[in-house]
Structure 1
């Protein structure tokens, strides 16, 4: 699925805000609940492996590992996903007059057994859920660019928050990494 984001910012500002591989937890907390760098990458994060715990508008969570496959700062990055999502994503950043366009394309399938069994029945809901997540990402990245321009602190920004029950502090404190993911995490790190 393709999502197009538009910013009144330079490509460099957008790429800077997106540059730390674990940064979506800061500016996209509506979708990215946790991140852990499993393997440091090289220049601009190329080769990095990061484990994410994510969610959308619906209450279920997904755990997956992203390996950054290609980085061409500030124009593109490509990553491979393994875990509850399997596939790839790509973000292309282009100048658009005084602003910047970001095209984020996700080609993933749901591998989480419980959710996957319902996929054919609730496909439309999954598509809406994905679009909701991507709108929160655009809002959050816009705020992050503003924060960086003003030299402000992240705590002062009103980033889009996750939906119930993950919007409850005590709930998030209980979230732990799923132990059964070790096999595909090791496989992602070997590639």
Structure 2
């Protein structure tokens, strides 16, 4: 088993129409406004940018994200990542109940040397750190969508 390899899945139930949720998720440069752990997004071009994240643990992770699938009709946003983490992440936005279900899937290999050094003993802590980040992102997006009811 490669202890630096991770697969994550998060499901966010959001009381907003899928089109509004998709529109918010596709504006990655706005993530730092509503997702506290996304510290910085720097666009390099239309399809690529550098993202810096930091959750509860005292380390930043920086990676270059490149759009590989931007399919509004299917509700899919997918990127590849290179840097402190290498892999891919995908949002799948669908109608769910009275609102939207946003599913986040991610598969990555950690490349940051410090995290690789602590891969075995730190794995449960790293997974918990990711879960905290995702919960904060869901809360932030809920507030963002609530605050922008008239915008979209």
* TM-score, normalised with respect to structure 2: 0.90
Whole-angstrom distance in 2 between the partners of 1:137 and 1:92: 15
Instruction: Kindly state the Cα deviation for residue 3 of structure 1 after the two structures are TM-superposed.
Output: 0.4
Q: Which residue of 1 aligns with 2:4?
A: none
Q: How do 1:139-158 residues align onto structure 2 when only pairs under 5 Å count?
A: 139-150=139-150
* Highest RCO, 1 vs 2 (Cα 8 Å, sep ≥ 6): 2
Q: Classify the secondary structure of the residue corresponding to 2:49.
A: strand
- 2:86–2:110 Cα contact (<8 Å) kept: yes
Q: Which residue of 2 aligns with 1:172?
A: none
Q: How do 1:6-155 residues align onto structure 2 when only pairs under 5 Å count?
A: 6-28=13-35, 30-40=36-46, 48-73=47-72, 75-150=75-150
Q: Tell me the alpha carbon deviations over residues 144-170 of structure 1, each in whole angstroms, 9 at most, x when there is no partner.
A: 11111155xxxxxxxxxxxxxxxxxxx
Whole-angstrom distance in 1 between the partners of 2:25 and 2:34: 9
Instruction: Kindly state the Cα deviation for residue 53 of structure 1 after the two structures are TM-superposed.
Output: 1.0
Whole-angstrom distance in 2 between the partners of 1:111 and 1:15: 30
Q: Classify the secondary structure of the residue corresponding to 1:149.
A: coil
Whole-angstrom distance in 2 between the partners of 1:96 and 1:115: 36
Q: Classify the secondary structure of the residue corresponding to 1:22.
A: helix
Whole-angstrom distance in 2 between the partners of 1:53 and 1:21: 12
Structure with greater strand percent: 2
Q: Tell me the alpha carbon deviations over residues 73-131 of structure 1, each in whole angstroms, 9 at most, x when there is no partner.
A: 16111100100011000111110132100110110121011221111111000110010
- 1:93–1:103 Cα contact (<8 Å) kept: yes
Instruction: Kindly state the Cα deviation for residue 62 of structure 1 after the two structures are TM-superposed.
Output: 0.6
Coordinate RMSD, CA, aligned: 1.2
- 2:89–2:105 Cα contact (<8 Å) kept: yes
Q: Tell me the alpha carbon deviations over residues 163-184 of structure 1, each in whole angstroms, 9 at most, x when there is no partner.
A: xxxxxxxxxxxxxxxxxxxxxx
Q: Which runs of 5+ in 1 are unaligned?
A: 41-47, 152-191
How many residues matched?
Answer: 143
Q: Classify the secondary structure of the residue corresponding to 1:121.
A: helix
Q: Which residue of 2 aligns with 1:184?
A: none
